[in-house]
Amino acid sequence: MKKIISILSISILLSSCISTRSTLKNVDDSAPDLVVNKDNTFEIREFSTDKKYGYDKDYPINIFYKTSATDANQERFLNALAGPRGEKITYTKLESCCPFPTKRSDMGAGFLDVYELKWEGQTKPIVLYINIYEKGIVKVPLGLRLRNK
């Protein structure tokens, strides 16, 4: 009985925290499917000129790609990046936040993953918002570049 009450409480809490309208501004279901390179990174061909892309929770990097491996898509994206001068980056997942409605989740809701990126010589780490539930044109965020392979 306690389990049922706990599950019911969590369901009510989640549904009360999720808006019925998404605040995400850059979802594009017509975006082409992502391609995985031989080195297990996503093939990225575009560079963002929008200072909000990836840095603002309403403009996350939308990397929907079907996989059953937890965090695989985030790693495929982040491992394709480098610092502004080609520096090797390291990253840490800080949290999942910012629930939003989505049809691509059994719960009917998705969460953004928040990652901190660091590289040698950097004065302040950067934080990126990544969305694994929705599609969009995947780009290199402003101030970063692609890793040399």
Question: Residue 26 domain-assigned?
Answer: yes
Tens of pLDDT along 56-67? 999 999 999 887
Number of domains in the chain: 1
Question: Residue 12 domain-assigned?
Answer: no
Question: Residue 92 domain-assigned?
Answer: yes
- pLDDT for residue 107: 87
Q: What is the pTM of this model?
A: 0.84
Tens of pLDDT along 91-137? 999 999 999 999 988 889 999 999 999 999 999 999 999 999 999 99
Quick check: 12 pLDDT over 90? no
101: Cβ–Cβ under 8 A, 6 or more apart, which residues? 18, 19, 20, 21, 22, 108, 109, 110
Picking from 97, 137, 86, 144, the residue whose alpha carbon sits closest to that of residue 117 is 144
